[in-house]
């Protein structure tokens, strides 16, 4: 497990872009962390690192947003998922075999359904207001 500290939303986006360079397709990035921790900022940087020009926003009400670049990105928000029926309704299992990159916000809500080889990224607040501590397991940034 590796720990990386960012000091701003721009730094969080830069970390996402750096990780994007390592992706080849088929990865599942499971993001863990509370409200306002920078999950969407991280995903925005990851998408930019994959050549995606579309604006990235949290898929809170849509449940999944699709972006197309060097690799397709499927950005999920599992905040409102409370059981297996909810999870099936998102189409999550169909996306697993798509060859794209799945980025899952609120992965704590679907932990039992995550693939064993998912890249786990836990984000928590640091000592300063915009500081974020990333604990990353499954890939070296």
Q: What is the reported pLDDT for 88?
A: 87
Q: What is the reported pLDDT for 91?
A: 86
Q: What is the reported pLDDT for 38?
A: 92
Which pTM does this prediction carry? Answer: 0.91
Using CA atoms, how far apart are residues 131 and 126, in angstroms rounded to an integer?
5
Using CA atoms, how far apart are residues 1 and 93, in angstroms rounded to an integer?
27
Residue 19 scores a pLDDT above 90: yes
| 37-95 pLDDT tens trace | 999 999 999 999 999 987 776 766 557 889 999 999 999 989 888 889 888 888 889 99
Q: What is the reported pLDDT for 60?
A: 61
Which tokens sit at 118? 């998912």
Q: What is the reported pLDDT for 2?
A: 94
Residue 124 scores a pLDDT above 90: yes
H helical segments located in the chain? 9-20, 39-49, 84-89, 92-95
132-137/119-125 β-pairing: antiparallel
Q: What is the reported pLDDT for 85?
A: 87
Q: What is the reported pLDDT for 59?
A: 61
| 91-107 pLDDT tens trace | 889 999 899 999 999 99
Tell me the three-class secondary structure of 56-79, residue by residue: CCCCCCCCEEEECCCCCEEEEECC
Q: What is the reported pLDDT for 44?
A: 93
With contact defined as beta carbons under 8 Å apart, do 28 and 114 qualify?
A: yes
Which residue reads 């990851």 in tokens? 46
Q: What is the reported pLDDT for 28?
A: 97
Buried b (16+ CB within 10 A) or exposed e, 42-57: bbbbbbbbbebeeebe
């Amino acid at each position: 497990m590796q720990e990386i500290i960012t000091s701003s939303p721009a730094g969080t986006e830069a970390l996402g872009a750096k990780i994007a360079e390592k992706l080849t397709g088929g990865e599942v990035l499971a993001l863990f962390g509370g409200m306002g921790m920078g999950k969407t900022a991280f995903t925005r940087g990851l998408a930019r690192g994959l050549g995606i020009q579309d604006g990235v926003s949290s898929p809170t009400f849509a449940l999944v947003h699709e972006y197309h670049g060097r690799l397709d990105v499927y950005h999920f928000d599992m905040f409102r998922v409370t059981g297996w029926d909810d999870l099936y309704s998102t189409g999550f299992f169909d996306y697993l075999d798509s060859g794209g990159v799945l980025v899952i916000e609120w992965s704590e809500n679907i932990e039992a359904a995550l693939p064993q080889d998912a890249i786990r990224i836990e984000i928590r607040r640091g000592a300063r207001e915009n500081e974020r501590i990333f604990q990353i397991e499954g890939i070296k940034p």
